[in-house]
Amino acid sequence: MKHLIIIIFALVLLSCAVTDEKVGLFERYNSYKSEIIKQKSNLILPMLSENRRNQIKSLGEKEFPILSSFPNILHKNVNHYTKIKNKIGCLTINGYGENNSPIVLSIKYLYENNEWLVDFVEIYYADLAKEFQTKGICPSES
Partner 1 sequence: MKFQDITTQENRASKIGIKITIAKLLEIAYSKNKGLTTKIIRKKGNFKISINGNGKVKLHGSAGVLSFNGGVALEAIGAKVKFATIHFSKGEGQTANYKASFSFAGGVTSLSVTGTLNIEELITSCSGLLCQAARLLKGNSKRNEQRLKEIMEN
Q: Is 139 in the site for partner 1 (CB under 8 A)?
A: yes
Q: Is 63 in the site for partner 1 (CB under 8 A)?
A: yes
By CB under 8 A, which span of 1-9, 20-28, 64-72, 77-85 interacts with partner 1?
Answer: 64-72
- Please list the alpha-helical segments (H only) found in 22-129: 25-39, 50-59, 65-69
Q: How far is CA 130 from the centre of its chain?
A: 24
Is residue 91 within 8 Å of residue 133, measured between CB atoms?
no
Report CA-CA distances (Å) from 109 to 8, 20, 26, 45, 59.
31, 14, 11, 14, 21
Rg value, the chain, Cα: 17
Residue nearer to partner 1 on the CB measure, 2 or 135 = 135
Q: Is 36 in the site for partner 1 (CB under 8 A)?
A: no
Residue nearer to partner 1 on the CB measure, 73 or 91 = 73
Quote the CA–CA distance of 122 and 105 in Å, as a whole number.
6
**Nearest of 84, 115, 88, 85 to residue 16 by alpha carbon:** 115
Which listed residue (19, 41, 69, 79) binds partner 1 by CB under 8 A? 69
Per-residue mark of binding to partner 1, 82-111 (x: CB under 8 A): ---------------xx--x----------
Which listed residue (120, 132, 136, 138) binds partner 1 by CB under 8 A? 120
Q: Is 64 in the site for partner 1 (CB under 8 A)?
A: yes
Q: Where do contacts with partner 1 occur on this chain (CB under 8 A)?
A: 52, 55, 59-60, 62-67, 69-70, 73, 97-98, 101, 119-127, 139-142
